[in-house]
Structure 1
Amino acid sequence: MTKKRIDWDQYFMVQAGLVASRGTCKRLSVGAVLVRDKRIIGSGYNGAVSGDDHCIDVGCYMRDGHCVRTIHAEMNALLQCAKFGTPTDGAVLYVTDFPCLQCTKSLLQAGIKQINYLRNYHNDEYAMKLIKLKQVKLKQIRLDSNILDEVNLDQYIHPDKH
């Protein structure tokens, strides 16, 4: 029997989901993965500035209905690339939730050529307009219902059984 490999979109979206599991925001766990030439160049999750308190530990720091403690996953991925000198021009984003307007503007300005997202989340009209204006490809990815069977993490959790 030939082992079936998951396709690239599924692979990178599962990675984004895994990255989201590191998030420290109590309101929404989001993960983002930046990819160029089928290689991950950066990743990020919703969380506080390094060294600051985490929302999951002390609660959200709210102003005008928004948590100002949290940096969004997409921004953290872009900032990781900036910190380590990795160009983002022409990269593809895989993100668990549709980016907010501010993240969309930053992604477009950073040269992201495609935004792949898993779930709709307050999809902003102006963000959609900008994505079209910049001719950035937008694609909603649906994870295959059998993705966990194909990934088979059990073989790594219980290696002696396999």
Structure 2
Amino acid sequence: MADKKSPDENNVNRMSKTEYYLAIALVVSKRSTCLKRRYGAVIVNNDEIISTGYNGNPRGDENCCDRGNCKRMDLPSNSGNYNDCFSVHAEQNAMISASRNEMLGSTIYLAGEKYDDG
């Protein structure tokens, strides 16, 4: 008797659930207001999307993309000095939009890319 394959393994043209949720997170990242890096997060529980979030300034604050500049643009990534950055992480924004009960046992998918204005 042959080993049973998961439904995703039977169809080689179908992306895996991990690839699917990461692709959604990458699309969510397109809403980022950061001029240096775009990140998107998707929280999934029981194969259901609970919440999404992207990085950027808190609601009501002026965004770097609205100002047209970023104080950290020319600083190296992971320099350790984030005093001039007021952005909230994508995963933080996703978490504050979901309830604790929804998040228990969930998985968070995070995708990002360097900002490209062209």
- Quick check: TM above 0.5? yes
TM-score by length of 1: 0.51
Q: Match of 1:144?
A: none
1:92 aligns with 2:107: yes
Q: Which amino acid aligns with 2:25?
A: A
Pairwise CA distance, 1:52: 1.3
Q: Match of 2:56?
A: 47
Q: Which amino acid aligns with 2:108?
A: L
Pairwise CA distance, 1:61: 5.5
RMSD: 2.5
Structure 1 vs Structure 2: percent identity of aligned residues?
31
Q: Deviations over 1:7-55 (max 9, x none)?
A: 2111100000000010000111011100001111011101111121111
Q: What SS class does the counterpart of residue 19 from structure 1 fall into?
A: helix
Q: Which amino acid aligns with 1:30?
A: Y
Q: Which amino acid aligns with 1:91?
A: S
Return 5+ residue gaps in structure 2 as ranges.
Answer: 1-10, 73-79, 114-118
Instruction: Name the CA distance, whole Å, in 2 between partners of 1:33 and 1:86.
Output: 16
2:41 aligned residue (22, 32, 41): 32
Q: Match of 1:75?
A: 92
TM-score by length of 2: 0.69
Alignment coverage as a number of residue pairs: 94
The structure carrying a bigger helix percent of its residues is 1
2:39 touches 2:90 (CA, 8 Å); kept in 1?
yes
Q: What SS class does the counterpart of residue 26 from structure 2 fall into?
A: helix
1:61 touches 1:69 (CA, 8 Å); kept in 2?
no
1:11 aligned residue (8, 17, 20): 20
Return 5+ residue gaps in structure 1 as ranges.
Answer: 98-118, 120-162
Q: Deviations over 1:55-77 (max 9, x none)?
A: 11213366x83243210101000
1:22 aligns with 2:38: no
